[in-house]
Amino acid sequence: MDLSHRFSKRELALLYEEVLYTILHRLGKPEHHHVADAQELYAYVQKAFGMDAEEHNVIMQQVKELESPIFCLKATVKEAKGILGKDVSGFSDPYCLLGIDTKSQEPAHPDHKKRMKAVVKDLIPEDQIHRTQVMSQTLSPVWDETFILEFEDVETASFHLDMWDSDTVESVRHKLGELTDLHGLKRIFKDARKDKGQDDFLGNVVLRLKDLHCWDDQWYQLEPRTETYPNRGQCHLQFLLTHKKRATTSSRTQPSYTVHRHLLQQLVSYEILQHQAGSIAWDGELSRHASTVLYLHATQKDLSDFHQVMAQWLAYSKLYQSLEFNSNCLLHQITSIEYQWVQERLRPQQKEELAESFQSLLTYGVSLIRRYRIIFPLSVPRSTERLQSLLRVLVQMCKMKAFHELCTLSSDLPQMVSTALKSGTTEWFHMKKQHLKPMVKSMEENGKALSRLLLEVIGDLQQCQKIWNKFFISTLKLNLFFIAYMELESLVAEHVQEELREVDSSMSKPTAESLFQLYMNLQELYRMKDFLPNRDGPLALRNFHQWFKEAVPQWLQKAYTIALERAQRAVQMDQLTPFGEHNKHSTSTVDLSTCYAQIVKTWQQLSWPDPEEAFMIMVKLVEDMCKIALMYCRLIKERAEALSLSEGEAANRLCIVVNNIKQLRLLILKLPVQLDWAQLEQRTGAVIDRQQIQHTLHHQLDSTVSCLDHEVRDVVKALATKLEKGIARHIQELSSSNDTQEPEDSITPLMKFLESELQYLNEHLVQENFKSLLALLWHHTLSVLSAAAGQQVRSAQHYKKLHCALKSLELCFYAEGCGLPLETLHTEAFLSLETHLALCSATSRKLIQKYFSNRIQEQLDTSSEKYGAVTIKALYRPSEQKLRVEVLNAANLIPLDSNGSSDPFVQLTLEPRHEFPEVVARTTQCKRNELHPLFDEAFDFLIPPEKCRQEGACLLLTVFDYDTLGTNDLEGEAFFPLCHLPGLDGEEDQADAGRVPQTRLPLTHPKPTGDEILRLLESRKGDKEAQAFVKLRKQRAKQSKETE
């Protein structure tokens, strides 16, 4: 391993001599974090300098033969606090005497205690004593004075410091003037006993040099000579053990900081190369051995903090350019130099060295940034941290006062970096272009190569935007993404356009495919412009789509061909069974959905900018998808026929076919949204009329949907036809069944048949198709039932069976809300049939009741009095079960006699007669020649209340015109419902005749043609009651003045 790092062998040997000399003449007590053993240090530096044993021994022998240095203690008296006040003012005028006693201070020495108490001037020769200045009138003096004290043997030498209060001759009058308290008076008397001009002892500090570290800085307790005042305050001292007149060649011929820098450079380079994780991961932390050696050398050479920092900066900044490590290591030196710059002054040579280091690191750092893609690859851990750290170092360095003073001609850092990034981006692009250049020169290979190049460019820009950009913006306010995009976009546009000059419509399919991928990549690159800040002028890729116009037809044809072939394969593989537990369509619809999704994706990928051309592309895509849909319908029906071996299987397959076509219909209807026709209309609004879009696209889609609906209807009709035969057969069997059988039993075969068939269809048809089938079956069923009800059969039991079947079928098809809705079931045909069957299946008495219910309703609905009106009061007394009716008057009667008048009377009957067989009809008196007769007659009827509540129960008021010779003429009829009688549902005390309201009833005439109920009753020839009722009503109808 080469550890010289540009040092010649001679220079390395001299530097090695220097470090061995430093270890050999080590001073001070080792720090706890330093290496104390000299042999360990020798072994370390031997490895660090790459010296073999023989070279080491030779140089070591030379070092031992060199003259030892002069050992020095650099002592700085900083300040004191809490010292005694010796003057009458309560203060002192302190000063210090200090020096080194070269005699042993071991405790075993008999004079040890005495010498520790001895004052400096008695212990040390006068020429070796150093004195600080006198600080007047203070108990916290600050001196900050430094003294160099030489010594020979660190083992025996000790440091002595005495602190004294300087005492000058003053008059008693002056001292009394300063007197402030009783203690001051005592001090005056004490001074009077002293010799004039004698200084007072304040305390001392005595330290053995071998107990000191190379550098110490702390507060020491001032010791007394006697126990009178044990607490005499503290003194702040700094010590540095250094050398003078070092005998090594380097020390004699080179500045101290230069030698230290070379030593630092050598040891740091070794530390970096020894780092297990590699130089990039080295964070500046030195081993204990290196730290110890550098610490010893700096202290022995008495290097200032600033010169140490400057040496570190020069060494580290130079090493960074050859052994790249974490540039954060440089930040400490930058900060320290900046902080101490005004405090230190450098010689011209040092300024020149520092300026050169700044310029060199700046140039090197910018060169790294220019090649950041290669130097800081994201595949290498911590690359982002390294680049970010380098940017911070360069920014901080360029902000330094030292940099501005020494490097006056340097360019603006952001401008330098911006220029470097542009040139670096161009270099990277050309390198990638050369690397990806195809071996075979063809349009197809060129397209693939261009696509790969575009992927590299897009990936690089994505890294710029997501990872690198924030570092450049935060440190330099530079938008790296903008710089890189503007360079690469221009380079890509120029290169691609050059390569595509030979493209024409006769290109091969592989060429078209490679160009489609290239188009996609260019589109992605162009879309990244959205991340750019405000820019001036258009981009070079603005109309890149025009370069691919010749390839578009082939792209669309390929999309259609792939979708068509996939749909055909899907039908061939389809077994026409439900796909999945919850689906009712088969596998081919899934594949068809994928085919459509791929075509939609093709449209989205194209995203063709030109609106008119985009519209033509859309027309072609929709046309292709509609053709695939119609082709699918034909193929899936053929597939169903091929798989069906029996009629049952055919029905099963048809269910799946219906569901598949319905699913396809849904896919077609989603196309406007999936293809975003609304956005296309908006884009083409300026060049294509909206009606043209509607006519072209929507008409094409609607036509296809209509075809699909027709296909569904045909298949559903085919399914319905298979079931209609069974339904018709069961209804025929029901109609011809024995009348003695109960209706519920008669319809059981029909309901079982429907339940079985509809359950299967419900399970295998989607809901919409199932309901369409139900609607067809319902209409067919109604027509079959209507035909059965129209047969010439007069049995009520027959109609009861049909009615029971109709109501059961209604419940079956409604299926508690899961089948057809009631509004669909209750068609006009159903309501008419239900009414007809209900009437036909009813008994004669029920029909009569129904007849009177209808007449009561007609009475309630009538407001016209063209035949006049009759006024009555009616009251029911529950306690007596008596109905009391008062016929008050009649009005506006029609004249029926030749004299223009009438002879009216009123007949009162309770209807229907079978409910009131014992109640006889009652009549009023006849009023001669009256059209507004006043009767005022009351009639009582004994009837139970429950009879009044029966269906059709009413009081029939028939007004006749009395004729002496012939039949009485009909003036009109009025029907009063008994269920509305006052008092029927009330308490006894409420049945007060005085409070019963009058009821005015318009008179009506029956329709001359009768109604359906009367015709049904007339058809029942064997029913005497029915025939008698019909006869009576016919007589009234003959007298009716109503017309058709």
* H/E element, 888: strand 882-891
Higher pLDDT, 907 or 338: 907
What is the pLDDT, as a whole number, of residue 989? 47
Say if residue 875 is in the same domain as residue 827: no
Residue whose tokens read 């072994």: 43
What is the pLDDT, as a whole number, of residue 108? 46
Q: Concatenated DSSP letters for 62-128?
A: HHHHSPPPEEEEEEEEEEEES----STTS-B-EEEEEEEE-S---TTSTTHHHHHHS-HHHHS-GGG
If one counts the domains in the chain, the total is 5
Both structure tokens of 864? 């016209």
Q: What is the mean pLDDT of residues 53-66?
A: 91
Both structure tokens of 789? 């009800």
Decide which of 470, 501, 534 is a domain's last residue.
534
CATH label of the domain that carries residue 774? 1.20.58.1100
Say if residue 171 is in the same domain as residue 220: yes
- Report residue 181's pLDDT band, with 50, 70 and 90 as the boundaries: low
Strand arrangement of the beta sheet that strand 130-131 belongs to:
130-131, 94-101, 158-165, 200-208
Q: Is residue 1041 part of a domain?
A: no
How confident is the model over 614-624, as pLDDT tens digits? 999 999 999 99
Say if residue 783 is in the same domain as residue 638: no
Contact residues for 168 (Cβ-Cβ < 8 A; gap 6+) = 197
What is the pLDDT, as a whole number, of residue 170? 56
Three-class SS of 851-879: HHHHHHHHHHHCCCCCCCEEEEEEEEECC
Say if residue 824 is in the same domain as residue 896: no
DSSP code at position 216: E
Q: Is residue 180 part of a domain?
A: yes
Closest CA to 646 of 757, 753, 722: 722
Q: What is the mean pLDDT of residues 810-835?
A: 85
Say if residue 951 is in the same domain as residue 881: yes
* H/E element, 576: none
Helix count and strand count (H, E) for the chain = 38, 16
Distance of CA 689 to the CA centre of its chain: 39
Question: Cα dihedral sign for 806, 809, 813, 814?
Answer: positive
What is the pLDDT, as a whole number, of residue 501? 83
Q: Is residue 601 part of a domain?
A: yes
CATH label of the domain that carries residue 144? 2.60.40.150
What is the pLDDT, as a whole number, of residue 280? 64
- 561 CB neighbour count, 10 Å cutoff: 12
Say if residue 522 is in the same domain as residue 581: no
Both structure tokens of 777? 């079956």
Each as own residue / partner, the long-range contacts of residues 462-465 (CB below 8 Å, 24 or more positions apart, any chain) are 463/378, 465/528, 465/531
Distances (CA, A) of 52 to 47, 48, 93, 274: 8, 11, 62, 18
Q: Is residue 279 part of a domain?
A: no
Residue 171 pLDDT > 80: no
What is the pLDDT, as a whole number, of residue 1044? 59
What is the pLDDT, as a whole number, of residue 618? 93
Could you give the CA distance from residue 949 to residue 943 in angstroms, rounded to a whole number? 11
Could you give the CA distance from residue 508 to residue 444 in angstroms, rounded to a whole number? 8
Say if residue 892 is in the same domain as residue 991: yes
CATH label of the domain that carries residue 586? 1.10.357.50
Both structure tokens of 182? 């009783």
Could you give the CA distance from residue 551 to residue 506 in angstroms, rounded to a whole number? 9
Q: Is residue 64 part of a domain?
A: no
Contact residues for 593 (Cβ-Cβ < 8 A; gap 6+) = 663, 667
Q: Is residue 462 part of a domain?
A: yes
How confident is the model over 97-122, as pLDDT tens digits? 999 988 755 554 545 555 456 678 88
Could you give the CA distance from residue 811 to residue 807 in angstroms, rounded to a whole number? 6
Domain extent at residue 944: 862-999
Q: Is residue 140 part of a domain?
A: yes
What is the pLDDT, as a whole number, of residue 426? 95
Higher pLDDT, 286 or 765: 286
What is the pLDDT, as a whole number, of residue 106? 54
Q: 972 has which bridge partners?
A: 959
Distance of CA 258 to the CA centre of its chain: 60
Say if residue 646 is in the same domain as residue 781: no
Could you give the CA distance from residue 1020 to residue 34 in angstroms, rounded to a whole number? 132
Q: What is the mean pLDDT of residues 536-547?
A: 88
Helix axes 587-606, 647-674, angle to 10 degrees: 20
Contact residues for 879 (Cβ-Cβ < 8 A; gap 6+) = 988
Average pLDDT, the chain: 86
Taking the complete model, does pTM exceed 0.75, yes or no? no
Give, rounded to a whole angstrom, the gap between the first and last alpha carbons of the chain.
129
Q: What is the mean pLDDT of residues 298-304?
A: 88
Q: Which of 125-139, 634-648, 904-918 has the lowest mean pLDDT?
A: 634-648
Say if residue 757 is in the same domain as residue 873: no
Could you give the CA distance from residue 862 to residue 874 in angstroms, rounded to a whole number? 20
Is-contact 97 162, C-beta < 8 A? yes
DSSP code at position 528: G
Say if residue 706 is in the same domain as residue 588: yes
Q: What is the mean pLDDT of residues 983-993?
A: 64
What is the pLDDT, as a whole number, of residue 4? 39
Residue 836 pLDDT > 70: yes
Q: 969 has which bridge partners?
A: 961
3-class DSSP state of 782: helix
Residue 475 pLDDT > 80: yes
Could you give the CA distance from residue 876 to residue 988 in angstroms, rounded to a whole number? 10
Residue 230: exposure state from Cβ atoms within 10 A (0-12, 13-18, ≥19): exposed
**Which ranges of 694-746 does DSSP label H, i.e. alpha helix?**
699-735, 743-746
Q: 159 has which bridge partners?
A: 100, 207
Closest CA to 1013 of 805, 861, 849: 849
- 480 CB neighbour count, 10 Å cutoff: 25
How confident is the model over 904-946, as pLDDT tens digits? 999 999 999 988 998 999 999 999 999 999 999 999 999 999 9
Say if residue 591 is in the same domain as residue 480: no
Question: Cα dihedral sign for 552, 537, 688, 629?
Answer: positive
Closest CA to 95 of 77, 107, 113: 77
Residue 769 pLDDT > 80: no
Closest CA to 660 of 536, 576, 785, 778: 576
- Report residue 495's pLDDT band, with 50, 70 and 90 as the boundaries: very high
Residue 281: exposure state from Cβ atoms within 10 A (0-12, 13-18, ≥19): middle
Q: Is residue 583 part of a domain?
A: yes
Residue whose tokens read 């007047």: 136
Q: What angle do CA 269, 373, 282 make, to 5 degrees?
A: 25
Contact residues for 554 (Cβ-Cβ < 8 A; gap 6+) = 507, 509, 512
**Which ranges of 546-676 does DSSP label H, i.e. alpha helix?**
552-573, 587-606, 611-643, 647-674
What is the pLDDT, as a whole number, of residue 193? 52
Residue 775 pLDDT > 80: yes
Could you give the CA distance from residue 246 to residue 14 in angstroms, rounded to a whole number? 13
Q: What is the mean pLDDT of residues 720-740?
A: 79
**Percentage, residues of the chain above pLDDT 90:** 42
Both structure tokens of 433? 């272009």
How confident is the model over 187-211, as pLDDT tens digits? 555 555 555 558 888 999 999 999 9
Say if residue 877 is in the same domain as residue 936: yes
* H/E element, 207: strand 200-208
Closest CA to 260 of 288, 298, 305: 298
Amino acid, res. 63: V
Q: What is the mean pLDDT of residues 841-870?
A: 89
